[in-house]
Amino acid sequence: MPEIHEERLANGATVVVARRPGVPLAAARLQVRAGAALDPPGRFGLAQMVAMVARRGAGARSGRRLDDLVESQGAHLSASADEDAAVYSLSAPVEALSSLLGPLVDLARAPSFPPAEFERLRRRELAALAHDADEPGLIADRAMLLEAYVGHPYGHAVEGRVKDMGTMRRADALAFHRRHYGPTLTTLVLTGPLDVGMALAEARRRLGRWKATVEDPPDWPSPAPAPRRVVVVDKPDATQTQIRLAAPGFPRRSPDYFPAAVANAVLGGGFTSRLVEAIRVNRGLSYGVRSRFAMSRSTGLFTLSSFTKNETAGELVQVALDEIARFRDEGPSAAEVERATSYLAGLYPMSLETHDQWADRLADLQLYGYGLDEVRDYRERVRAVTAAAAHEVGRRRFPADTGVILAVGPARQVVAQLERFGPVRVVPVRRVL
């Protein structure tokens, strides 16, 4: 474990500084709990636009000056959003950190939203959505969100939709920033072989002078489980069908976290899961298949992803559902749980090998509200999961006859194969984007 200092400033902002040995780079994350779940109706994609346009000018600095300042020192600065937060990520030679912290904090505190840059990025994002339409896996992931979270704040892609991006205005970005960006929702994480005193002092100075009052985002309930249905996104030219299965899950800070991690490792994580064995190894139906619990701050999803030639789409779905049913009925064997826990525990140190990985983990911990004790005791907690506990959580969390089955492929070939799993609706690709 690195040496970690956490501090709440007078204005409510949180600063976390973690000093650790390693390569002479520093990683910083400036995280604001203003993600795509806060996108207003008709303005899907706004949270991410705010983050990206902020990167193009803040304080007295233009985007171009910022590019020069950052890149001439060998650093990299990017802005993005997910459903819960906007994140400004900096990776820099450790000696460049002090000169870049001010500009980093300004991105959230004082973005200028240059009008020309706003319009340019809006046009670019619209064009990017057209290219996304040519990526079957990406369409499947987007459609899965829409269908699994109908009417829910998590039920759209952070990239937004064509019709919303077409009418978005700079005033929307200003209003979003005013309403949702403030120090009480902001965490600054700094990691690397840095001078802790300098880092803390600099973080206090830069972040401490931000005055803005904003409300905490609410917690949203999980969508209610609904009978299983099928959605086919028609892609007439595809020779391979992308397949997803999604059902309501749970938030990151759930007591189910550890038993569910183990149950999922047995069902569909890693290279030796039951799904890989049934779909790839025994039947050669796909190159890859995996299931996971995707966890956000308020709630989450159970998801399964794979792909196969059009002719075997129905067979793949059947095999996947059979494996889920078998887990729910019989649970995992003691040997499977032993292997899964060794796997998860053994790999954990490798998920915290770099400064960037530590910065991400420490930012996550603030966002989702779990403690450092989880990081410290991860291996013991995983090893403490029993076969009975994994079975119990699997019975509750792996869907029996609920959720949505989603396929992206040629409807004329795929629909007939999927009708036996539930009522089928066919939508064109443009409805997803």
Q: Which residues bind another protein (CB under 8 A)?
A: 21-25, 63-64, 67-68, 70-76, 91-93, 120, 123-124, 126-128, 130-131, 133-137, 236-240, 270-272, 277, 280-282, 284-287, 307-309, 338-340, 342-343, 345-347, 349-350, 352-356
Instruction: Determine the Cα angle at 2 with ends 346 and 73, to 5°.
Output: 110
By DSSP bridging, strand 14-19 and strand 186-192 are parallel
Q: Give the number of other CB atoms < 10 A from CB of residue 225.
A: 13
By beta-carbon proximity to another protein, the closer residue of 21 and 151 is 21
C-alpha pair distances (Å), 87 with each of 13, 84, 139, 360 = 15, 10, 24, 10
Instruction: With beta carbons less than 8 A apart as the criterion, state whether 196 and 18 touch.
Output: no
By beta-carbon proximity to another protein, the closer residue of 247 and 432 is 432
C-alpha pair distances (Å), 260 with each of 7, 36, 198, 316, 341 = 32, 26, 41, 23, 11
The least distance separating another protein from the CB of residue 62, rounded to whole angstroms, comes to 11
Residue 111, phi then psi, degrees to nearest 5: -70, 145
The least distance separating another protein from the CB of residue 34, rounded to whole angstroms, comes to 23
With H, G, I as helix, E, B as strand and everything else as coil, classify residue 13: coil
Calculate Rg over the CA atoms of the chain. 23
The least distance separating another protein from the CB of residue 20, rounded to whole angstroms, comes to 9
The least distance separating another protein from the CB of residue 423, rounded to whole angstroms, comes to 25
By beta-carbon proximity to another protein, the closer residue of 21 and 255 is 21
Q: Give the number of other CB atoms < 10 A from CB of residue 325.
A: 14
The least distance separating another protein from the CB of residue 221, rounded to whole angstroms, comes to 36
By beta-carbon proximity to another protein, the closer residue of 22 and 59 is 22
The least distance separating another protein from the CB of residue 26, rounded to whole angstroms, comes to 10
By beta-carbon proximity to another protein, the closer residue of 270 and 422 is 270
The least distance separating another protein from the CB of residue 99, rounded to whole angstroms, comes to 13
By beta-carbon proximity to another protein, the closer residue of 286 and 417 is 286
322-327 long-range contacts, CB within 8 A, separation 24+: 322/278, 323/267, 323/268, 323/274, 323/275, 323/278, 324/267, 324/398, 324/399, 324/400, 325/400, 326/274, 327/263, 327/266, 327/267, 327/274, 327/391, 327/394, 327/398
Instruction: Determine the Cα angle at 413 with ends 227 and 150, to 5°.
Output: 30
Taking the C-alpha atoms of residue 176 and residue 155, their distance in angstroms, rounded to an integer, is 19
The least distance separating another protein from the CB of residue 90, rounded to whole angstroms, comes to 11
By beta-carbon proximity to another protein, the closer residue of 99 and 184 is 99
By beta-carbon proximity to another protein, the closer residue of 34 and 266 is 266
The least distance separating another protein from the CB of residue 380, rounded to whole angstroms, comes to 14
The least distance separating another protein from the CB of residue 169, rounded to whole angstroms, comes to 19
By beta-carbon proximity to another protein, the closer residue of 13 and 279 is 279
Residue 203, phi then psi, degrees to nearest 5: -65, -45
Beta bridge partners of 8: 14
Taking the C-alpha atoms of residue 295 and residue 255, their distance in angstroms, rounded to an integer, is 12
Residue 103, phi then psi, degrees to nearest 5: -55, -35
By beta-carbon proximity to another protein, the closer residue of 235 and 252 is 235
